Amino acid sequence: MKIKKATLKDAKRISNLIKRNILNAKINKYTPEQKKGLIEKNSLSIIKDKIKNFEMFCAFKKEKLIGTIYLGEKYKRKFKIGGLYIEPKFLNQRIGTKLLKFAEEYAKKKDIKKIHLYSLRFSKEFYLKQGYKINKSYIWRIGKTKTITHGMEKKLK
């Protein structure tokens, strides 16, 4: 597996990967309305904006895009991580862990001391295993529905 910085040429493939993950990953138990809202939040134009404005990375196996993550919203030596999505047939192969560790190492090189993220209930356990701590739970609106999301943080060493 190779991880590289995303370019605008990757945007359509990233958006499609995220859509496949939302629709097909068995760990995601979203309602149809939540799926629609999440897909809208990861449209091609929004992904292009994230590539332009944040640090977005892609994991490739040979030439196939198999995962993505971004670092954004740098504030007072703290980065927000978001958009960690894996191609459904590559789940449970430690790709998410590798992308997350890559993003954390990248942040350390930028002198970032803390990572913040929001986790939906399906991914909360994954982040807890990676050393993240829940600091607050929120009600988040996805489309016309609401769900619980957890604000999580990790101090980088």
Instruction: Residue 93: give its domain's CATH number.
Output: 3.40.630.30
Query: What pLDDT was estimated at residue 98?
Result: 97
Q: Is there a domain that residue 155 lies in? A: no
Per-residue DSSP letter, 93: S
Q: Is there a domain that residue 150 lies in? A: no
Mean pLDDT of 104-114: 90
Per-residue DSSP letter, 106: H
Q: Is there a domain that residue 42 lies in? A: yes
Q: What is the pTM of this model?
A: 0.89
**79 band by pLDDT with thresholds 50, 70 and 90:** confident
Which structural domain range is residue 26 located in? 2-114
Q: Is there a domain that residue 136 lies in? A: no
- Strand locations in the chain, DSSP E? 2-5, 55-61, 64-72, 78-86, 114-120, 133-142, 145-155
Average pLDDT across the chain, whole number:
90
- Which tokens hold the place of 52? 């332009």
The total of structural domains in the chain comes to 1
Phi first, then psi: what are they for 156, rounded to 5°? -90, 140
Q: Is there a domain that residue 157 lies in? A: no
Mean pLDDT of 1-29: 91
Q: Is there a domain that residue 121 lies in? A: no
Q: Which of 31, 19, 20 is nearest to 121 (CA)?
A: 31
SS3 (DSSP) at 50:
helix
Q: Is there a domain that residue 85 lies in? A: yes
